[in-house]
Amino acid sequence: MTPLNNVKEAVGVLVVGAGPTGLTLACDLRRRGIATTVVERGDGLFPGTRGKGIQPRTMEVFDDLGLADAVRAAGGPYPRMLVHRAGEPPVEWDMIERAEPRPDAPYAEVWMLPQWRTQELLLERLRALGGEVEFGTALTGLEQDADGVTAHLSTGRTGNTEGTEHTVRAAYAVGCDGARGTVRATLGIGMTGETVDAEPSVVADVLLAGLDQRYWHVWRDDADAALALCPMPGSDTFQFVAQHATLDDARGGTREAFLRELLAARTDLAPEQLKEVVHASEFRVNAALADRFRSGRVFLAGDAAHIHSPAGGQGLNTSVQDAYNLGWKLGLVLHGHADEALLDTYEAERAPLAAEVLGLSTRLHHRAVKRGTETHQLGLAYPDSPLTRHAAAPHSATARPTAPNEGAPHTGAPAPGDRAPDAPVTAATTADGSPLRVFDLLRGPHLTLLAVGDVTPPADLPPYVRTHPIPATPPYTSGALHLIRPDGYLALITEDAQEVTSYLAALSA
């Protein structure tokens, strides 16, 4: 990078925004040894529940980042719904499909964890990796040239009070600062989409007395103006969601008084049962996709790139996986192991998937489809990616039997572009004596080459590739080499060691 005068620091990557997307990206970069600065306009982490569903694929990402156990301990399974209508007994039902862990998918169903707690766990992990967030720091300007990005930052700005100005020089910057963030606006990148529901909704975290915490309670009226109270695991709070309501109606009074009025008007609960409002905000349901995910050395990820209906719990999860897709690519490029052209594949892979998931979220919002395993995101794949190599050697098992169905897993052996499934490795154990699994071999910042059965891997592979000869391990194809990307997707399946060598050489070409 070209040095600049009066620069506070020079780093590999500047991450703007400390939500789930920015924190995931920062964790991934830090474990790769990339100097990373994370700045957040707010004085602390977002305090609300908002995105509260962790999908199975995101749990696999957190497993790789060393967070799965903490997320499991802090959260809990989704409660059953209890729908209340005036004059009728409550109706109990399951919104999600219950499932047991499978050998290929150890995380079988969506896990509930409020967004504020997910962010706390990510921040704890980032700090354990030697990273930090600069809170109260706003991006005020951004320029880029052939060698890097110059970001102008203001720390401690409040109201009309000017903050302390400083500059950061980075090789790349990533806007993880949300739909109304500064980065996308600075780049002049538009968003194309639609209004899913023109009426605003209120979402709050509240302390509530006298309501059964075993259920997610929903009250509906004839106008379908629902009010829902969902108990949050690991907390005494409920998430309060009221459709067709606005906090503007609370002007002249407190938000607490307004929410009590809503509670009394739409439910059979007494207003005094609402004891405290911890956090409250409102939102309108939109679906939109950024026209581009990249401008030169600056990338967009998360809500800065795509906005979802909350139906189906896809927004936070798609955002985390944006970060997981981009992190390893930035790491290889900044360490000099890959050509900068690798970064072109971020938009090529993520934009089509984001559009696909947006469509699913919108249909779920309108109840045009039922919630099922497609929301788990285990079947999302990159079969047509420039990083997916369909080997010349014939492999009937590597041919995708059907096109991906918006995240629904397909049966049969995995094909290039698919998520690499978990599986027990026969007669093998880890250092602590527990059974060895494929995910144990994938965990970490490296690419993984599985030599399954009777096949010889190439010698002298780069240090960022780890080779593991393993016995025949269904559903992996025996007698084949499986090259798996750091984000857990199959890049190549072949019997020919030279194809692996050629693939890796092409990354650095």
| Residues 111/271, Cβ–Cβ less than 8 Å | no
327 Cβ contact partners less than 8 Å away, ≥ 6 residues apart: 24, 25, 28, 29, 32, 486, 487
User: Which candidate, 305, 343, 61, places its Cα nearest to that of 183?
Assistant: 305
String of DSSP letters for 136-154: TEEEEEEEE-SS-EEEEEE
What's the CATH fold of domain 9-76+109-190+288-361? FAD/NAD(P)-binding domain (3.50.50)
Amino acid at 479: G
pLDDT at 321 over 60: yes
Please tell me the least confidently modeled range out of 94-108, 169-183, 394-408.
394-408
pLDDT at 419 over 60: yes
| Residues 313/52, Cβ–Cβ less than 8 Å | yes
Mean pLDDT to the nearest integer, 246-260: 90
As a whole-number percent, the residues of the chain with pLDDT over 70 amount to: 91
Mean pLDDT score across all residues of the chain: 91
Q: What residue has token string 């696909």?
A: 356
User: Which candidate, 278, 281, 318, 326, places its Cα nearest to that of 299?
Assistant: 326
Q: Before 475, cis peptide (omega within 30)?
A: yes
pLDDT interval class at 350 (50, 70, 90): very high
User: Which candidate, 155, 179, 141, places its Cα nearest to that of 40?
Assistant: 155
What are the angstrom distances between the C-alpha of 98 and each of 79, 108, 109, 149, 231?
A: 11, 8, 6, 47, 18
Enumerate long-range contacts of 422-427, CB under 8 Å, 24 or more apart: 422/60, 422/103, 422/104, 422/105, 422/106, 423/103, 423/104, 423/473, 423/474, 423/475, 423/476, 424/103, 424/473, 425/470, 425/471, 425/473, 426/471, 426/472, 426/473, 427/471
What's the CATH fold of domain 396-507? Glutaredoxin (3.40.30)
Count Cα atoms within 13 angstroms, Cβ side, for 479: 6
Specify the pairing of strand 215-219 against strand 80-84. parallel
User: Which candidate, 448, 425, 451, places its Cα nearest to that of 436?
Assistant: 425
String of DSSP letters for 142-195: EEE-SS-EEEEEEES-BTTB--EEEEEEEEEEEE-S-TT-HHHHHHT--EEEEE
Q: Which CATH architecture has domain 196-285?
A: 2-Layer Sandwich (3.30)
Beta bridge partners of 276: 207
Q: Write down the pLDDT at residue 395.
A: 44
Q: Write down the pLDDT at residue 362.
A: 85
Question: Highest mean pLDDT range out of 89-98, 191-200, 347-356, 421-430?
Answer: 347-356
Q: What is the C-alpha to C-alpha distance for residues 326 and 304, in angstroms, rounded to an integer?
A: 14
Delimit the domains of the chain by residue range: 9-76+109-190+288-361, 196-285, 396-507
User: Which candidate, 121, 116, 128, places its Cα nearest to that of 30?
Assistant: 128
pLDDT interval class at 197 (50, 70, 90): confident
Q: Write down the pLDDT at residue 250.
A: 84
Mean pLDDT to the nearest integer, 257-281: 96
Write out pLDDT tens, residues 469-478. 999 999 999 9
pTM: 0.93
Q: Write down the pLDDT at residue 179.
A: 93
Please tell me the least confidently modeled range out of 221-230, 263-272, 499-508.
221-230
433 Cβ contact partners less than 8 Å away, ≥ 6 residues apart: none
Q: Write down the pLDDT at residue 429.
A: 65
| Residues 332/33, Cβ–Cβ less than 8 Å | no
